[in-house]
Amino acid sequence: KALFAEIQALTGGVDILVNNASIVPFIAWDDVDLDHWRKIIDVNLTGTFIVTRAATDQMRAANKAGRVISIASNTFFAGTPNMAAYVAAKGGVIGFTRALATELGKYNITANAVTPGLIESDGVKASPHNEAFGFVEMLQAMKGKGQPEHIADVVSFLASEDARWITGQTLNVDAGMVR
């Protein structure tokens, strides 16, 4: 809340929120314990709730239109192995987004999710699992490696006035991997 009070004082308030915090561990189901589960859910889902609560409270208090854009993952649709907690958390983000759209629409606040495929980010390049690109590319309708700007462009659109009539949607940005 202190952060959002500072934003209010400096800028007049939040009108666009992008939920993008995430941790993505690869852990086989047999190795998932409750501490691991809670950590993944806390960062990927509970963190989204906490920040969204503060931002949308500020948006509603200012009585102005707003945008909530949450980064989920196409792993939810693919049922990706060795990622049970992450898949559950990102599925929760999708459900949370849909519920928000219904509840906040009357305030002219839109809520949408973006579900990237595998993106060639610095974190992915450094991962010991970056060999997954070859496999993922075979599943994509369009060939090539996803780049951060592919996601940024969609987020920018959803934050714009051009997207004012779009809410409750999940946009797969994965070169047609999930179709």
Which amino acids are annotated catalytic? 86
Quick one: which of 20, 101, 22 has its CA closest to 67?
A: 101
Distance of CA 163 to the CA centre of its chain: 17
Nearest Cα neighbor of 91 from 48, 153, 61 is 48
**Number of neighbouring beta carbons within 10 Å of residue 106:** 8
- 7 close to 17: Cβ distance less than 8 angstroms: no
